[in-house]
A and B are shown apart, each in its own frame.
Chain A
C-alpha cells in the first residue's frame, strides 16, 4: 500500500475548511500549520483571477527529511506515510532545512518538529484524513496509489490530458506522493509569484522571526 493525495485545484474555492479541520483534528498550535491554503492573485485589473493552493507534506518516496533526521524521529509507516515520533525528536531542525516544500514546522509547545501525517491516526482506524472529510467540494482525493481501482488512481488516469497531474518541484528527485490537478506555475512554484512583505488582502504577509518555543 502506498497512500497518496491529490488536490483538484479546479474545484478548490479557497474556503480554508481543510486548514481549520486540520488545526482542530491535530491540535496544531498557534503560529503553526500542517496544512495551509495560499492565495495568489494573478493578472492586472480588470483581468484578474485569484488562485488557491492547499499546501501540506508531500510524503515523498525519497523524503529528504527522513534521510537527514539523525534519530529516525521522521520515519516511514508501512502505508508510505512519513510519520513523526515527537518523543524522539531532538529539535535539530535538519528536517526543516531539508524539506524543499517548507512543510515541517517546529512545534512551539513541544519544541519538536511536526508536520502533516495524512492523519495517520485516523487512517489507522480506517477513516479519511480530517481535511478530506471537511472539503465541501471533494477537491481532496486520498487513497492507495498501488491500487489501480482506487479513486485517486482513477482520478490520476482521467486527468492525464490538458494541464495534467503535477507534483511540486519534481527536479528535487523526492518523488512526492501528493499531486495537483489544474495547477500552473503560480500554484506550485513559490518563485513564480511575488511575496511582498506587508499588509495584503486580509493579513500581513510576513515570516516567523523565531521557530519553536522561546
Chain B
C-alpha cells in the first residue's frame, strides 16, 4: 500500500474503472539494456583504440563495430515491436516533432546504426573474410562521428524518462549519468569477456572502468533509495515499492547485487590478484544484473495510480 491516507478521512476508492498499470514493460528494458551495450562498446572501444595500438587495438577494431551493430539492431527491433502501430514508425521521419526526445533519439540512433553498419562491413571484409575493402580507408574517419554520436544515443532515453512527467522518480540529470555509466559498465564488460588475449594493461583498464561504473551507479541508486522520498510525495510512494516489504524489494536488491556490488568487489580483487577469470565473472554478472536493475527502475513508477 503506497497511499498516504489519514485515519480521519479513511478514504477508499469504492467505484472506478480498471486503470492501466505497466505501459512500458520488458521490451523497453531490453531496449535500454541492448542500447547500453551497443553504445558502450563504441565508447570503451574508442578508449582502447586510442591507448593500445597493438594486437589489442586490432582486435578492438575488428569486434567493436560488429558487436555494436548486433546490439543496436536488437535495440531497434524491440523498439519497433513495442509500438502498437509498428508500420507507422516511418511517421517519425515524415512528421518529426522535435520537442520529443523519442524523435531526436530515433533520428540519432538511425544515423549511428548506419555508421556502425558501414564499419561492420569494413571489419567483416578486412578482418574476418581477409579481403580487400574499398571502404577500409573510411574506418578512422567514420569512427570519430560514431564516438561523438554514441554519447547522445546512449543518453537520450534519460530525456524520454524526464519527459515522462507522470513518473516523478525519473529525473533527467540523474538518469543521464545513470545511462552513461550503464554504457561504460556494459562496454567494459563486453571487452573483458571477448578480450582474454588482450594485454594485461588493457584488461586492467577495463576492470577499473567496470569497477568505477558499478560503484558510481550503485551510489546513484542508493542516493535515490535513501533520499528519493524527500523530493516529492509520488517519488516517496514509488521508492516504497523497493523498500523493505515492497513488491519489488527482493528483485531490486538482486539487481543491485548482481550488477554493481559483486562486480565492483570482483573488479577490485581481480586487480589485486590479476585474475582474468574473476574479471570475466564480474562482467557476466554486471551485464545480467543491469537488465534486472533497469527493469525494476522502469516498472516501479508505473505501479502508482495516476488518477
Contact = CB atoms under 8 A, between A and B. Distances in A.
B16 A191 contact: no
A36, A90, A91, A211 pick with most chain B CB within 10 angstroms: A90
B307 A101 contact: yes
A72 B95 contact: yes
B142 interface: no
B100 A111 contact: no
Binding site of B, secondary structure by majority: helix, strand, loop or mixed? loop
A94 B164 contact: yes
Interface string A77-97: 000000000001111111011
Interface residues of B, number: 53
Given A64-B166, A90-B83, A195-B3, A102 B15 contact: no
Interface in B69-91: 82-86, 88-89, 91
Contacts of A68: 99-102, 160, 163-164
A205 B16 CA distance: 6
Contact of B165 (A33, A71, A174, A190): A174
A106 to B, nearest CB: 6
Interface in A162-179: 168, 171-172, 174
B69 to A, nearest CB: 24
Interface string B201-241: 00000000000000000000000000000001110010000
Interface in B121-173: 160, 163-167
A92 B89 CA distance: 9
A151 to B, nearest CB: 26
B106 interface: yes
B9 interface: yes
A194 B1 contact: yes
B273 to A, nearest CB: 45
A64 B97 contact: no
B18 A42 contact: no
Contacts of B95: 71-72, 88
A102 B234 CA distance: 14
Interface stretch (A116-124, A126-134, A137-145, A196-204): A196-204
Contacts of B166: 64, 97-102
A102 to B, nearest CB: 3
A200 B15 contact: yes
A112 interface: yes
Interface residues on A, range: 35 or more
Contacts of A185: 9
A112 B18 CA distance: 19
Contacts of A101: 166, 306-307
A180 B30 CA distance: 41
B306 A100 contact: yes
A212 B20 CA distance: 10
Given A71-B91, A90-B92, A174-B165, A196 B12 contact: yes
Contact of B14 (A36, A39, A103, A206): A39
B236 to A, nearest CB: 9
A205 B13 contact: yes
A44 interface: yes
Nearest to A48: B10
Contacts of A196: 1, 12-13
Q: Which 6 A-B pairs have the closest CB atoms?
A: A91-B84, A102-B306, A193-B11, A39-B15, A64-B165, A70-B102
9 contacts: A39-B16, A71-B97, A72-B97, A88-B95, A92-B82, A100-B166, A106-B20, A190-B305, A195-B16
